[in-house]
Structure 1
């Protein structure tokens, strides 16, 4: 399936879909630091463009595609910050929907934070997509049940022209893991410690985790253990018990980027790009479910044709 990735970031969605057998034709983003990482890891072209500009549609139409994927910027829907549903970034969700409605690929996938379900922007985007003829599957998925060692919840909206709403639910439900993946399940002892530090959003939250549980959500901030850190009641160990902060590369592993994936730029930019990315295995899971559904409707059509030939 020929694929275009919008708001591609450093390439988590692209790599996941590529791993599932999709052919990425081109990618688009407007953040130079992420674009530079993307260029290091993919052979196809990535364009630095403002996807809020209506002129971008004509550029995208150069690449006849079966599916458009993407994660519009999510900061203004995030539980972590001040929500501003009328901001330019929030409007990029509407831009994504308008691009889909104009280009009309057979399929699309949009990813965002799960809090988008509480925003007034989502119904507006849904109306644009329904009016364009798409059946929609809307799900909040937990990455730790999809082969990712991280309890990261994300909203996915998958569209297919002329399908019924909820068309992909069975494929998703049938393939969820029965248990959450832990860091140890995925990485074994490779990070060299049983307990590690992840800088919390606030010191009301714990910061010391065990490899025998899923990681908390990897964010765009990675700081060393502060001097005089006081143990949170929920921390899995005392700081003195061989606890270490994860390296940039180790954080990329928890996002399921492979070892060969090249990270370039300043440490701050690399951490932000990793934190913003869709986990590779999460994207791959969604891509595989689309492939299964596509095969199923193909077989349904084949069986219908065979029945018609017998009847004739």
Structure 2
């Protein structure tokens, strides 16, 4: 299945879909530094493009995608942002919906923060998708139950032409793990620490975490333990000079980027890219749900047998 990735950032979603067996043929983003990182890690092209400008979609159509995937910038919905849909970035969600309606791929995936469910912009986008004859499935996935050592809740909306609403609902939840993945589950002894500092949004929240729990959501902010930090009741150990934040690379691993992934540029840009990225394994999980559905429909199989067939194929 041919895929193009819009608002691709540094490529977490693209890499997840590639790992599941999809053919990602092109990507698009408007952040030069992210495009440079993407280009260094993938064989297919990425184009630096303003996706709010819909005057010419020929460059998208020429790739003849079976599926368009993407996560329009979420800061206007995010709990870390100002939560103001009038700031302009929320308009990119509508741009995404209009691109889908014009390019008309068989499939699309839109991911965003959980909070978008309460927005008028999402309802407007859904109206555009429905007008384009897409059946819709949606859910909120916590990445820690989908192969990622991080508590990160994301809204997932998948569309398929001429399908009934809810067509993928069972597939999206069936293979979630019973327990959240911890950092230690994923990285084992690779980290030389048991506790680390993650800067909270306010000091009413804890800042010291254990590797034997999922990481909190990786954000674009990464600061050292402040001098004079007072222990929060939820902190996993006493504050000390030995408690450090995770490094930029360690944070990329928790986003499930491979160790071979090439990072470069300013620390500020890299931290922001990593914080904005879709975890690779979350992308892979979603892609595999789509493949299970396609396999089941093709063979007329119930979901359990379709999954078994895919597992045999992947061995």
What TM-score range do you get, normalising by the shorter chain? Answer: over 0.9
Alignment length (residue pairs): 301
Could you give the per-residue CA deviations for residues 138-175 of structure 1, whole angstroms, max 9, x where no partner exists? Answer: 11110000000000000010011111111111112210
**TM (normalized to structure 2)?**
0.94
**TM (normalized to structure 1)?**
0.94
Does structure 2 conserve the Cα–Cα contact (< 8 Å) formed by 1:107 and 1:161?
A: yes
Distance 1:241 1:184 in 2: 22
Does structure 1 conserve the Cα–Cα contact (< 8 Å) formed by 2:139 and 2:172?
A: no
Deviation at 1:22, TM superposition (A): 0.6
1:276 maps to which residue? 276
Alignment of 1:231-242 (within 5 A): 231-240=231-240, 242=242
1:190 corresponds to 2:190: yes
Distance 1:41 1:248 in 2: 17
Distance 2:117 2:56 in 1: 27
CA RMSD, 1 decimal? 1.1
Could you give the per-residue CA deviations for residues 99-122 of structure 1, whole angstroms, max 9, x where no partner exists? Answer: 001111000000100000010000
1:127 maps to which residue? 127
1:307 maps to which residue? none
1:308 maps to which residue? none
Deviation at 1:204, TM superposition (A): 1.1
Does structure 2 conserve the Cα–Cα contact (< 8 Å) formed by 1:195 and 1:242?
A: no
1:56–1:179 distance in 2 versus 1, CA, 3 Å:
farther
Deviation at 1:85, TM superposition (A): 1.4
Does structure 2 conserve the Cα–Cα contact (< 8 Å) formed by 1:34 and 1:273?
A: yes
DSSP 3-state at the match of 2:85: coil
1:223 corresponds to 2:219: no
In structure 1, the gaps of 5 or more residues are 302-312
Does structure 2 conserve the Cα–Cα contact (< 8 Å) formed by 1:150 and 1:216?
A: yes
Alignment of 1:68-107 (within 5 A): 68-107=68-107
DSSP 3-state at the match of 1:4: strand
Does structure 2 conserve the Cα–Cα contact (< 8 Å) formed by 1:197 and 1:225?
A: yes
Distance 1:229 1:272 in 2: 24
DSSP 3-state at the match of 1:188: helix
Does structure 2 conserve the Cα–Cα contact (< 8 Å) formed by 1:50 and 1:56?
A: no
Deviation at 1:94, TM superposition (A): 0.4
In structure 2, the gaps of 5 or more residues are 302-315
1:266 maps to which residue? 266
1:180 maps to which residue? 180
Could you give the per-residue CA deviations for residues 251-294 of structure 1, whole angstroms, max 9, x where no partner exists? Answer: 00000000000111100000000000000000000000001101
1:298 maps to which residue? 298
Could you give the per-residue CA deviations for residues 56-104 of structure 1, whole angstroms, max 9, x where no partner exists? Answer: 4221011001000000000001122212213321010000000001111
Q: Segments of 4+ in structure 1 off by > 4 A?
A: none
1:36 corresponds to 2:36: yes
Does structure 1 conserve the Cα–Cα contact (< 8 Å) formed by 2:14 and 2:24?
A: yes
Could you give the per-residue CA deviations for residues 34-64 of structure 1, whole angstroms, max 9, x where no partner exists? Answer: 1111111001100000000013422101100
Distance 1:290 1:166 in 2: 13
DSSP 3-state at the match of 1:189: helix
2:168 maps to which residue? 168
1:306 maps to which residue? none
Distance 1:87 1:107 in 2: 29
Could you give the per-residue CA deviations for residues 177-223 of structure 1, whole angstroms, max 9, x where no partner exists? Answer: 01100000001121111101111111111110001100000000111
Deviation at 1:241, TM superposition (A): 7.8
Does structure 2 conserve the Cα–Cα contact (< 8 Å) formed by 1:193 and 1:242?
A: no
